[in-house]
Amino acid sequence: MSTQIVTVDIGGTHARFAIADIAGDGTITMEEPTTLHTEDHASFQTAWEDFRERKGGALPDGVSMAIAGPTGGDVIRFTNNPWIIRPALVGEKLGVAHHTIVNDFEAVAHAVARLPEDCFTHLAGPEEPLSPTGRLSVLGPGTGLGVAHLYREPDGRYRVSATEGGHIDFAPLDQIEDAILARLRKRHTRVSVERVVAGPAISDIYETLAAMEKRATTESDDIEIWTKGMSGEDSLCAAAVDRFCMSLGSVAGDIALAQGGFGGVVIAGGLGFRLRDTLVSSGFAERFAAKGRFQSLMAKIPVKLMVHPQPGLYGAAAAYASQHLK
């Protein structure tokens, strides 16, 4: 017997909605999502009502939400949009019997737990599937750096923990990264890895490389640096992208060591997906394994890139199944 729910992925700019079907064996299928702009709706409730109208006026009586931000407390506020969600009132406001609310990267880890193997592509380490048991580490660069931990039980069950691993200290490994750290320290007393391996960090990396070569910088917009670097149009932008990939490899290896993610590491998120070809050809794999006495251990960890187009929506549905359909 299957269960239908509404699955939602809420960010600062967009809220994505889809009807998901959760089969009795835990398999999840989703319809094509509907994307609404948060600025076009006064609240999540009015966005929900808009989606309900688009679906003919009726929706399933369960909802799961992946939210870009902290989910604890009586009131959930968003960094980049004015919506407020009060978890205790979700059932009453939306007319649903059951609901689940998770952090967006917690949802991604739920997706890792349930997605089939063909939703992952190889990045580094042995070309073998993620371990069906034990600990896995999940991280993804975006506006920030999301980090989560997944533990798979031998009986098929699993546990997910959202973490703040993106805020551990950045540890440079060479003179270039020393220079990046020095630049960032002028603005931040404490420099976390998120300052170096999240999307906006490409600007500081680019500016550091330009200063080392005594070049006048011409690119100040991070999107333009990413575009020119990934296309190879500009050699300095390309060098910044390659340096980003190397640093991401180092951070991913550190996360795996800290969490004991020896069953596998997954890179997730839109930026990771766009970097898939660059990651393979960059120094990512070498940096991931470069952990001194533990290099041989690190080289045995399969590192994968998630290629599912909607991990937040899928993961929110998986989180609902884990909470309500055990």
9 is in an annotated binding site: yes
- Annotate 244-302 with three-state secondary structure: HHHHHHHHHHHHHHHHCCCCCEEECCHHHHHCHHHHHHCCHHHHHHCCHHHHHHHCCCC
How many angstroms separate the Cα of 245 from the Cα of each of 50, 110, 128, 139, 286? 40, 25, 22, 13, 11
10 is in an annotated binding site: yes
Residue 245 C-alpha from the chain's centroid = 16
Question: Is the CB of residue 4 less than 8 Å from the CB of residue 12?
Answer: no
241 is in an annotated binding site: no
12 is in an annotated binding site: yes
221 is in an annotated binding site: no
217 is in an annotated binding site: no
Strands 62-67 and 98-103: parallel
How many angstroms separate the Cα of 238 from the Cα of each of 147, 172, 274? 26, 20, 14
Beta strands in the chain (DSSP E): 3-10, 14-22, 28-30, 34-37, 62-67, 76-77, 84-85, 98-103, 120-124, 134-141, 145-152, 158-163, 265-267, 303-306
Backbone angles phi, psi at 12, to 5 degrees: -75, -35
Identify the burial level of 284 via C-beta atoms within 10 angstroms of its C-beta, where 0-12 means exposed, 13-18 middle and 19 or more buried. buried
Residue carrying structure tokens 């839109």: 270
Instruction: Name the binding residues for ATP.
Output: 8-13
Instruction: Name the binding residues.
Output: 8-13
